[in-house]
Homo-oligomer: A and B are copies of this chain.
Amino acid sequence: MAILHQMQISGNCYKVRLAAHQLGIPLTLKEYPVFAGDTRRPEFLSKNPNGRVPLLELDGGRCLPESGAILWHLSEGTALQPQDAWTRAQMLSWMFFEQYSHEPYIAVARFWLSEAPNEELEKKRHLVPEWHAKGNAALAVMETHLKVHDWFAGNRYSIADIALYGYTHCAEEGGFALSDFPAVTSWLNRVAAQPQHIPLEFAW
């Protein structure tokens, strides 16, 4: 069985668990404590020199880092990816948007404001206004799209929705007001109503 090296609290790891659960792919979860630094030690670095989770380890020890690439690999050829090339490109575009323009502000604000010890937050406090400005800009881009589309790529739920759901659904933990984004809020409800949906807390 494939091993997911992960932190339960990480939205990037949640995306992989959610897609795998909906696809019926069993995973063994190997948990890393958030502040222990184990992903920066030689044993882990031999699997991912970038020292980050999630990391998918397949039978035989082949390793794949990066949540977007793991989502892609688990779902290739399934209903979680569009069939046609143009829609698939749009799906990837939203996944790159999420990692570049969304996650570095929305996930990072959640981590420091909700998860990190207070004394660590104080060192980062001056960055909060920038995280909120850029994170709200990303939510506004999503709102513009979702005012006229039910889903991010094509007319159906795909791994682009899973990628964006990962940190959007818990954005309020980072101080974002989702009530300012009604189309995003409706889409969050549509995602949570998909068959075999699991919440971030769910482990197996």
In the bound complex, residues from chain B placing their C-beta under 8 Å from that of A103 are 100
Q: Are A68 and B85 in contact (CB under 8 A)?
A: no
A192 within 8 A of B: no
Size class of the A contact interface (CB-based, 8 Å): 20 to 34
Shortest Cβ gap from A161 to chain B (Å): 16
A76 within 8 A of B: yes
A26 within 8 A of B: no
Q: Are B100 and A72 in contact (CB under 8 A)?
A: no
Binds B, one of A31-39, A88-96, A171-179: A88-96
Q: Are A89 and B64 in contact (CB under 8 A)?
A: yes
Q: Which of A62, A76, A100, A144 neighbours the largest number of chain B CB atoms within 10 Å of its CB?
A: A100
Q: Are A96 and B99 in contact (CB under 8 A)?
A: yes
Q: Are B49 and A68 in contact (CB under 8 A)?
A: no
Q: Are A89 and B72 in contact (CB under 8 A)?
A: yes
The answer for the CA separation of A62 and B84 in the assembled complex, in Å, is 14
Instruction: Name 8 interchain pairs, CB-CB below 8 A, sorted by A.
Output: A50-B138, A64-B90, A64-B93, A68-B92, A69-B89, A72-B92, A73-B86, A99-B100
